[in-house]
């Protein structure tokens, strides 16, 4: 009986413990703090290794690479910093993982006879290439984790590319797998790294290589600081915006730009930054302190020509840092400085008597408004044909321009002339054509098309897929062999895009109707309808560096998206824009309303006007109105038809304080935020965007209420409480029943024991 009682008691205790653990677990789960993820910036770099000579895969931005036999290859490119001069002892340290997919590895490693497929029975090879130099042919005669160190001659770092970047290639040849029906896989681990001993030298200042060394496209982030006079003229500000938009285009937005004034330039910035000095000789006294190829004398450049409005572009090594350069974009007049800035925006600079000096006499900024010829081959567009030869997906891009004020006819088409190999797997290979990212046609390959060296196919171009300004036509090909054992050196995989492929673009006059594009959702249109940005004018406040910095970022973004041959935006101060000039441009008004008299002039036209003296607009169109203190940072973006020309637009980027202006401008350049803009009015509070269209009352789009990036920080005096966890409803009743059951069992056992003891006493 005692044993039964003990067993019942033990089972009960175990069951109660289980129930209690469930209660504790549920309560603990309620107390867990959820993880918070933060959005990444457009471009972030890993820190350099502790040893400055070590360049890891992580620094190069390379992930783990898998090569699948029998034949496969992989390539990537990287740039070296302009102030590095490699010395001896360079090498590549590879970490490889080699596996064979079948169970006959013992047979594979037992022999080394040659087989008819080009590999070695029992192994394969991995060829490592740097630029046009084969560094090593590594035998793959064992499986598992493998380490290899490959010495690199310094001469191999001579790039074959126009941008100076180094190309690293890995070519797998494991033809034995075709002989033994195995499959070799090689993984290049991210623990691989380069050892690059180097000396630091002053970078080249030749303008022939521009935008290098400002933009090196290496594994070290590229940045430049634009320095302007303390009280710049509108022309000097225009030059700064022109340079920013040009560099945004030339570097695909990868060059980080910022702006400061001469008096705010710190010693730390001088020592750590590439500097772009922008301004007239008389307003930039620092130019007289530099050893320029054409120096400043008496506050003026002594020009050889008779024109006082010539522009000057000069580059020298920084006197404050041997690793950096100083680019001076200047002139004796505003006109000269603007010319120099426009020349810089083209990216092609012709040197004068010194390789680091250019004198700009004139710049042609007037766009050609006449329609271009109807039929243009790829050769006419300045391109050659292209041959796809690598396995997998490859692409090639071609750009063409549609002038503002013209639209393509519905009969527009792309006449693709192509040929291809008969050794392709037609079920898995093919060609796709895209226009501005949208697919417009595809080609199915066959034995019939393989039998002809030139095939012609007409792909219609939808008029709605063509935009004013720059357009990009992409051709993508996916090449998969019919027989995976076809050796790559046979060149059995290929698709040839012939250079006489033709764009048929009949055009008709079609004045841009900006009324259909007056929505924040369509930004950066309509500004980018004019690739040169000659129809865009920035309207800025006096002596407001933060507003100028915001405008600089917007200018770089517009230059990137307009993709014009040069940049030529205009700049006016908010209290000095002539009335005749107002009707010529799409206006970007940036700053605090109180510092921009033009905001008051067009106040009645704004979607959300400002009351007299108030830095906060009237938000009557919102379904819920809140009381917001006037000094609480808030940004506003408003789009409207220009009061001076209904064919143009005004985009007001405003804030009640400098932080608000920064938030408003960020919404126009941050892709995550920009996608939340809609209607004609938006309120920006950090990363929260609330959009509405005052023309459609009461319509509201709260773009950020679901945004996890928005952080709400409670006051420091607030007490943070843990949310109460919900407990499963069955636990408490089950616990009570079990306790009662245990009481009953204990009572029964006790009564039985008492009864037996009493019986024994009577018997005794």
Q: Are residues 690 and 598 in the same domain?
A: yes
Q: Are residues 214 and 194 in the same domain?
A: no
Q: Are residues 17 and 121 in the same domain?
A: no
DSSP state of 679: B
Q: Are residues 569 and 674 in the same domain?
A: yes
Cis bond leading into 213, ω under 30°? yes
Q: Looking at 185, 200, 215, which one is the last position of a domain?
A: 200
Residue 255 near residue 218, CB atoms below 8 Å? no
- Angle between helix axes 334-346 and 234-250 (nearest 10 degrees) is 0
DSSP state of 123: B
pLDDT range class, residue 486, cuts 50, 70, 90: confident
Cα–Cα distances in angstroms (integers) from residue 132 to residues 85, 209, 588, in the given order: 20, 22, 49
Instruction: Find the mean pLDDT for residues 25-44.
Output: 34
Instruction: Find the mean pLDDT for residues 275-298.
Output: 95
Task: Provide CB contacts within 8 A for 243, sequence distance 6+.
Answer: 226, 276, 278, 329, 341, 344, 345
Q: What is the pLDDT of residues 605-651, one digit of tens each?
A: 999 998 877 888 877 766 677 777 778 899 999 999 999 998 899 99
Maximum distance among all alpha carbons in the chain? 141
pLDDT of residue 50 exceeding 90, the answer is: no
Does 369 reside within a domain? no
Alpha-carbon distance 88 to 511, whole Å? 62
Cα dihedral 736/738/744/745 (nearest 10): -160
**pTM (2 d.p.):** 0.75
Note the pLDDT of residue 373.
Answer: 83
Q: Looking at 139, 169, 200, which one is the last position of a domain?
A: 200
pLDDT range class, residue 706, cuts 50, 70, 90: very low
Q: What is the pLDDT of residues 577-607, one digit of tens each?
A: 998 899 999 999 999 999 999 999 999 999 9
Lowest mean pLDDT among 10-24, 163-177, 410-424: 10-24
Note the pLDDT of residue 708.
Answer: 36
Q: Are residues 342 and 385 in the same domain?
A: no
| CATH number, domain with residue 421 | 2.60.120.260
Cα–Cα distances in angstroms (integers) from residue 450 to residues 393, 415, 491, 495, in the given order: 19, 18, 15, 10
pLDDT of residue 704 exceeding 80, the answer is: no
pLDDT of residue 159 exceeding 80, the answer is: yes
Q: Are residues 355 and 385 in the same domain?
A: no
Q: Are residues 630 and 653 in the same domain?
A: yes
Note the pLDDT of residue 113.
Answer: 39
- Indicate the number of domains in the chain: 5
Residue 337 near residue 540, CB atoms below 8 Å? no
Lowest mean pLDDT among 10-14, 440-444, 559-563: 10-14
Phi, psi torsion values for 246, nearest 5 degrees: -65, -45
Cα–Cα distances in angstroms (integers) from residue 609 to residues 520, 620, 636, in the given order: 17, 10, 11
**Percent of residues, the chain, with pLDDT higher than 90:** 60
Does 719 reside within a domain? no
Q: Are residues 279 and 184 in the same domain?
A: no
What is the C-alpha radius of gyration for the chain, rounded to an integer number of angstroms?
A: 35
Q: Are residues 330 and 410 in the same domain?
A: no
DSSP state of 170: E
Note the pLDDT of residue 8.
Answer: 52
Q: Comparing 178 with 546, which gets the higher pLDDT? A: 546
Residue 275 near residue 225, CB atoms below 8 Å? yes
Does 596 reside within a domain? yes
pLDDT of residue 757 exceeding 70, the answer is: no
Q: What is the pLDDT of residues 233-277, one digit of tens each?
A: 999 999 999 999 999 999 999 999 999 999 999 999 999 999 999
Alpha-carbon distance 589 to 517, whole Å? 18
pLDDT range class, residue 177, cuts 50, 70, 90: low
Does 735 reside within a domain? yes
Residue 177 near residue 183, CB atoms below 8 Å? yes
pLDDT of residue 31 exceeding 50, the answer is: no
Note the pLDDT of residue 174.
Answer: 84
Note the pLDDT of residue 88.
Answer: 86
Q: Are residues 379 and 434 in the same domain?
A: yes
How does the average pLDDT of the chain come out, rounded?
Answer: 83
Residue 656 near residue 631, CB atoms below 8 Å? yes
Q: How many helices (H) and strands (E) does the chain have?
A: 13, 40
Domain of residue 482, residue span = 375-505
Does 173 reside within a domain? yes
Does 322 reside within a domain? yes
Note the pLDDT of residue 142.
Answer: 86
Q: What is the pLDDT of residues 314-369, one digit of tens each?
A: 999 999 998 999 999 999 999 999 999 999 999 999 999 999 999 999 998 875 54
State how beta strands 586-591 and 645-655 pair. parallel
pLDDT of residue 519 exceeding 70, the answer is: yes
Does 49 reside within a domain? no
Q: Looking at 454, 470, 505, which one is the last position of a domain?
A: 505
699-702, strands of its sheet edge to edge: 570-573, 536-540, 586-591, 645-655, 635-642, 681-685, 688-693, 699-702
pLDDT range class, residue 762, cuts 50, 70, 90: low
| CATH number, domain with residue 527 | 3.30.379.10
Q: Are residues 492 and 518 in the same domain?
A: no
Helix (H) or strand (E) holding 238: helix 234-250
Note the pLDDT of residue 119.
Answer: 40
Does 160 reside within a domain? yes
Q: Are residues 103 and 221 in the same domain?
A: no
- Helices assigned H by DSSP within 277-351: 334-346
Note the pLDDT of residue 71.
Answer: 85
């Amino acid at each position: 009986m005692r044993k039964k009682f003990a067993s019942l008691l033990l089972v009960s205790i175990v069951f109660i413990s289980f129930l209690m653990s469930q209660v504790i677990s549920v309560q603990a789960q309620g107390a867990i703090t959820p993880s918070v993820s933060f959005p990444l910036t457009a471009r972030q770099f890993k820190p350099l290794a502790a040893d400055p000579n070590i360049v890891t895969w992580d620094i190069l931005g390379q992930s783990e690479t898998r090569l699948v036999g029998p034949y496969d290859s992989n390539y990537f490119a990287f740039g070296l910093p302009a102030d590095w001069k490699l010395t001896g002892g360079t090498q590549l340290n590879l970490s490889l993982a080699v596996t064979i997919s079948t169970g006959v590895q013992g047979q594979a490693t037992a022999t080394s006879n040659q087989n008819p497929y080009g590999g070695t029975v029992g192994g394969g090879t991995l060829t490592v290439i740097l630029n046009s130099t084969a560094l090593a042919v590594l035998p793959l005669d064992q499986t598992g984790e493998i380490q290899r160190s490959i010495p690199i001659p310094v001469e191999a770092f001579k790039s074959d590319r126009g941008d100076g970047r180094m190309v690293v290639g890995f070519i797998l040849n494991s033809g034995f797998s075709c002989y033994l029906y195995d499959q070799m896989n090689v993984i290049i681990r991210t623990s691989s790294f380069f050892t690059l001993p180097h000396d630091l030298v002053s970078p080249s200042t030749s303008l022939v290589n521009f935008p290098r060394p400002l933009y090196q496209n290496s594994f070290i982030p590229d940045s430049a600081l634009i320095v302007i006079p303390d009280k710049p003229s509108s022309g000097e500000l225009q030059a700064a915006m022109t340079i920013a938009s040009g560099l945004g285009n030339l570097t695909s937005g990868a060059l980080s730009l910022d702006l400061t004034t001469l008096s705010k330039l710190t010693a730390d910035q001088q020592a750590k930054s590439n500097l772009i000095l922008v301004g007239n000789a008389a307003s930039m006294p620092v130019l007289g302190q530099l050893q320029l190829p054409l120096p400043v004398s008496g506050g003026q450049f002594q020009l050889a020509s008779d024109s006082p409005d010539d522009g000057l572009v000069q580059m020298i090594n920084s006197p404050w840092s041997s690793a950096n350069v100083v680019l001076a974009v200047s002139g004796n007049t505003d006109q000269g400085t603007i010319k120099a800035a426009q020349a810089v925006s083209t990216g092609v600079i012709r040197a004068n008597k010194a390789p680091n000096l250019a004198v700009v006499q004139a710049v042609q900024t007037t766009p050609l408004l006449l329609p271009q010829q109807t039929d243009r081959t790829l050769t006419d567009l300045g391109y050659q044909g292209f041959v796809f030869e690598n396995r997998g997906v490859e692409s090639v891009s071609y750009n063409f321009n549609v002038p503002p004020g013209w639209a393509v006819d519905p009969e527009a088409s792309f006449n693709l002339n192509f040929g291809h190999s008969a050794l392709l797997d037609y079920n898995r290979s093919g060609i796709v054509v895209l226009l501005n990212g949208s697919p417009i046609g595809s080609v199915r390959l066959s034995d019939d098309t393989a039998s002809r060296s030139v095939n012609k196919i007409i792909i219609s171009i939808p008029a709605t897929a063509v935009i004013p300004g720059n357009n990009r036509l992409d051709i993508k090909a996916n090449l998969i062999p019919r027989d995976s054992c076809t050796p790559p050196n046979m060149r059995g995989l290929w698709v040839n895009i012939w250079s006489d492929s033709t764009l048929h673009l009949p055009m008709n006059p079609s004045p841009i109707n900006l009324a259909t594009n007056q929505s924040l959702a369509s930004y950066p249109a309509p500004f980018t309808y004019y690739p040169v940005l000659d129809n865009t004018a920035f309207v800025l406040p006096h002596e407001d560096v933060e507003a100028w910095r915001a405008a600089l970022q917007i200018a770089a973004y517009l230059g990137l998206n307009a993709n014009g041959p040069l940049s030529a935006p205009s700049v006016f101060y908010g209290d000095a824009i002539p009335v005749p000039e107002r009707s010529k441009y799409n206006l970007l008004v940036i700053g605090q309303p109180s510092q921009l008299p033009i905001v008051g002039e067009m106040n009645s036209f704004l979607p959300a006007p400002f009351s007299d003296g108030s830095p906060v607009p009237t938000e009557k169109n919102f379904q819920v109105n809140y009381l917001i203190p006037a000094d609480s940072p808030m940004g506003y973006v408003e789009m409207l038809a220009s009061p001076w020309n209904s064919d143009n637009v005004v985009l007001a980027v405003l804030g009640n304080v400098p932080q608000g202006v920064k938030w408003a401008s960020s919404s126009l350049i941050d892709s995550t935020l920009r996608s939340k803009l809609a209607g004609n009015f938006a309120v920006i509070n950090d990363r929260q965007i609330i959009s509405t269209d005052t023309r459609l009352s009461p319509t509201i789009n709260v773009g950020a209420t679901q945004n996890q990036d928005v952080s709400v920080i409670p006051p420091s005096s607030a007490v943070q409480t843990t949310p109460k966890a919900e407990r499963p409803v069955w636990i408490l009743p089950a616990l009570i029943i079990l306790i009662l059951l245990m009481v009953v069992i204990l009572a029964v056992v006790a009564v039985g024991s008492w009864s037996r003891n009493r019986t024994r006493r009577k018997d005794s």
